[in-house]
A and B are shown apart, each in its own frame.
Chain A
Amino acid sequence: QVQLVESGGGVVQPGRSLRLSCAASGFTFRSYGMHWVRQAPGKGLEWVAVIWYDGSNKYYADSVKGRFTISRDNSKNTLYLQMNSLRVEDTAEYYCARDSREMATIWYFDFWGQGTLVTVSS
């Protein structure tokens, strides 16, 4: 069955960096676009970034553009989110999510990981 397992969250000071990982299994990872979605404590969902199945295109929310970088290693079935210049307002649960369509990017998400919590605090 499809499994997405995030890791790498933790407590970090403002201005520092953190890299999240999402290990995928149970499907052909290289055939699916992947997204990061976050949720601040007690708040709603916010889409963060997407990467095409082959890594050829990447898009970001304005709130993270220039600070976050999405990437993937299809040989390791792993998705990444490099987060630089972190701000207090980046505090959230970060979910990786699979795009619903194989070999395309449709922008809705059929499987989600369990999330990893990032806390930015001095």
Chain B
Amino acid sequence: DIQMTQSPSTLSASVGDRVTITCRASQSISRWLAWYQQKPGKAPKFLIYKASSLESGVPSRFSGSGSGTEFTLTISSLQPDDFATYYCQQYNSYSTFGQGTKVEIK
């Protein structure tokens, strides 16, 4: 099974900050990685697929990069609506999620 590890688990930031979340795979997954945003009590929202392709309608301040085993999600200028938990997901072999990164207000 492919394990996904996100860091940090929690991130404190202010509006306007540039934020980066890292996701590492236990083996190479090429670029078969997606990112989701989840707010408390809500279903996850799809953001990015194939490591760096932005889903339609997702603000351009979100971007993804990486390949192989190391990936990042970057929010270029954090907005009030972005405080949430973010999950990476590999889909190279079945599906596995990272444990999540909570972005909280500093």
Q: Collect the chain A residues with CB atoms within 8 Å of residue B38's CB.
A: 45
- Residues B40-86 near A (CB distance < 8 A): 42-46, 49, 55
A100 adjacent to chain B (CB < 8 Å) = yes
Q: A108-B89, A108-B91 are in contact. Are A44 and B99 (CB under 8 A)?
A: yes
Contact B87 A44 (CB under 8 A): yes
Q: Collect the chain A residues with CB atoms within 8 Å of residue B45's CB.
A: 112
Q: Collect the chain A residues with CB atoms within 8 Å of residue B46's CB.
A: 100, 108-112
- Number of interchain pairs (Cβ within 8 Å): 52
Contact B97 A100 (CB under 8 A): no
Q: A44-B87, A45-B44 are in contact. Are A108 and B96 (CB under 8 A)?
A: no
A95 adjacent to chain B (CB < 8 Å) = yes
Contact B94 A107 (CB under 8 A): yes
Q: Collect the chain B residues with CB atoms within 8 Å of residue A44's CB.
A: 87, 97-100
B interface residues, Cβ below 8 angstroms from A: 1, 34, 36, 38, 42-46, 49, 55, 87, 89, 91, 94-100
A interface residues, Cβ below 8 angstroms from B: 35, 44-47, 50, 59, 61-62, 95, 100, 106-115
Closest 10 CB pairs of A and B: A107-B91, A112-B43, A47-B95, A108-B34, A45-B97, A44-B100, A44-B99, A110-B46, A108-B91, A107-B95
* 19 A-B pairs (CB sep. < 8 Å): A44-B87, A44-B99, A45-B36, A45-B38, A45-B100, A46-B97, A47-B95, A95-B44, A107-B91, A108-B89, A108-B91, A109-B34, A109-B36, A109-B46, A110-B46, A110-B55, A112-B46, A114-B42, A114-B43
